[in-house]
Amino acid sequence: MAFHGWKRFLFLSKQNAFARAWRSRRGSLSLGRKRCCHGGAGESVAPEMRAFLEENTEVTSSGNLTPEIQLRLLTPRCRFWHEKLDSWPYGDPFWAIYWPGGQALSRYILDNPCVVKGKSVLDLGSGCGATAIAAVMSGASQVLANDIDPIAGMAMILNCELNHLNPFPITIKNMINSEVGNWDLIVLGDMFYDEQLADGLHHWLRKCIRIQQTKVLIGDPGRHEFLRHRIHSHLHKVVEYSLPESTRQENNGLTSSIVWSYQPSCSLESC
């Protein structure tokens, strides 16, 4: 399967995958793993999985908004990019793409470390972990990365190693509709692919703001599903970045990505 075949498949299928995962795992943990990954890479990534990820991803820091961060990603130079989609032995590797919303969030945090310095940060739907890594680099006092895919958690640990960071805690719990945690800041990118999922995020994030006064930053390049959802009326643009040419080509021609501040203007019960 050619480069654009993989990319297009992941781009178009992410909507259904996130929606199915959220609906089937509300309030539960993913794939039977009942813990967070807190240990070092040697403790949390089995040798065979480490070898698989190292062999079938490429370490890169180019073609995106954050050249300071090295990541293991699926690129055209990787074997599986050119094979049939069903040849990948695990769940769809959404974590292996550095999506433009996450790029914008990570760039903003690196450029504005005061946003996270000394604060507790939850990176929701963390994927490759770039935004969580940016938060650690910028002085966050506590970072929790969340993704429902256990393979993403393992990849994040390897990405921490690449950037000479101790692995931060990673949870594969589905946090939407879970108990509200005491976070200073929640960041999430590229998650508004499905109306029901967006509704769940809208409700849970408002609850976090109402109960804990949590600040919320959302990264998105302006996808149709995001712009048409009612959450958009509660957003304030923080910054817009022009995407590198390679990222534009890989994302159906999207040219920029925006960081939004989520500021609901009405009560949880009435909006």
- Superfamily assignment of 46-262 in CATH? Vaccinia Virus protein VP39 (3.40.50.150)
pLDDT tens digits for range 219-259: 999 888 888 899 989 999 999 999 999 888 888 878 999 99
Q: How many CB atoms lie within 10 A of CB 152?
A: 24
For 165-214, where are the E strands, in sequence order? 170-171, 185-189
Q: What is the pLDDT of residues 83-128, one digit of tens each?
A: 776 778 888 899 999 999 999 999 999 999 999 999 999 999 999 9
pTM: 0.85
The ranges assigned to domains in the chain are 46-262
Rounded to whole angstroms, the Cα distance separating 90 from 93 reads 8
Pairing of strands 142-146, 120-124: parallel
Which tokens go with 251? 């994302």
DSSP 8-class letter at 167: P
